[in-house]
Amino acid sequence: MKHIIHGADGTPESMQLAEGVRPQPGPGEILIEVHCAGVNRPDVLQRSGRYPPPPGASPILGLEVAGTVAALGEGVTEWKVSQRVTALVPGGGYAEYCVAPASHALPIPDGLDLAQAAALPETWFTVWANLVDLGRLKQGERLLVHGGSSGIGLTAIQLARHLGVECFVTVGSAAKAEFCRGFGADHALNYREADFVRQVKELTGGEGVDVVLDMVGAPYLQKNLSLLRRDGRLVLIAFLEGSKGEFDLMPVMLKRLTVTGSTMRPRTVAEKAAIRDALREHIWPEIAAGRLRPHLHAVFPLAQAGEAHRLMESSAHIGKIVLEVRA
């Protein structure tokens, strides 16, 4: 099979097409003939040597795919060969064939093509696990999302609308702010033009928000704590600007705040399966009905994976970047 390899220098230019051995599904797994694969920040980190795959995972990049079931591993009864699926995978997505736990796959919702379907798993698994399971986000609350125009950000906007939550996002340009408002955000704040802390406090009458979803890291930590009202929750999912910093813990005690976070890849098969089941029950019907949707910024052929990574690293995109493995 064809797949993408990357060199030891970890640059986008080192990413090349190569020929390799087609994987085989083990017990409880399915083999997917990949048509499209999503591109995500963890792929960039792995390529640059900062996010190694977990033990037993494919060293090939790629954490989400869409395609058709090509073979079933022992004990799999949930899926059939030739069925269209999208799946969260522990690695191996930038390839013509990819193995996935059967319990991490989902049917492709009606009305979506394979590129759109490939844009669903990583963001929806991440957002649901961090905002619903960890963040305990519920109807009537306020949510602040940093990186509102990213794939994660747009998914969080969709979840907020679905739950009946007032949604604030921060973005880096007027164009991104306008897009996020059109996509469903109640308030889109350009952090390059004004202090987002002051803006959120003004918009909430000084009350702040209930949950913050942060991918920036240490530089925003004190600001995030200052914006949380009593019993608020700060959920960390990435550290684009660093994980180490000094901050005052007093607001945590005075306001009974919760500071938490998680990554998706190291979770157990059973933990991810539970998230899959929740998405299938609560979110997939909404996607099939057209009430929730992904937004694709660009689709690249597999051979241009390096170009896709350059776009990801530029942060010029809005929404998801996808690789087309099979035209």
| Residue 165 pLDDT > 90 | yes
Architecture of domain 124-261: 3-Layer(aba) Sandwich (3.40)
How far apart (Å, rounded) are the C-alpha atoms in residues 98 and 25?
Answer: 9
Helix (H) or strand (E) holding 270: helix 269-282
As a whole number, mean pLDDT of residues 157-171 equals: 98
As a whole number, mean pLDDT of residues 281-287 equals: 98
**CATH annotation of 2-120+265-324:** 3.90.180.10
Question: What contacts 263, CB < 8 A, 6 or more positions away?
Answer: 237
As a whole number, mean pLDDT of residues 225-238 equals: 98
Cβ neighbours, 10 Å, residue 290: 11
Task: Determine the 3-state secondary structure of 202 from DSSP.
Answer: helix
The verdict on pTM exceeding 0.85 is: yes
Task: Point out the least confidently predicted range of 48-52, 58-62, 103-107, 200-204.
Answer: 48-52
pLDDT bin (cut points 50, 70, 90) of residue 225 is very high
How far apart (Å, rounded) are the C-alpha atoms in residues 34 and 66?
Answer: 6
Residue 162's alpha-carbon distances to 118, 149, 245, 282, 293, in angstroms, are 21, 18, 34, 10, 11
How much is the pLDDT for 220? 97
How much is the pLDDT for 207? 98
Query: What are the extents of the domains in the chain?
Result: 2-120+265-324, 124-261
DSSP structure string for 279-306: HHHHTHHHHHTTSS---EEEEEEGGGHH
| Residue 327 pLDDT > 90 | no
| Residue 302 pLDDT > 90 | yes
How much is the pLDDT for 36? 98
Structure confidence by residue, pLDDT tens digits, 47-86: 999 999 999 999 999 999 999 999 999 999 999 999 999 9
Q: What is the mean pLDDT of the chain?
A: 97
Question: What contacts 55, CB < 8 A, 6 or more positions away?
Answer: none
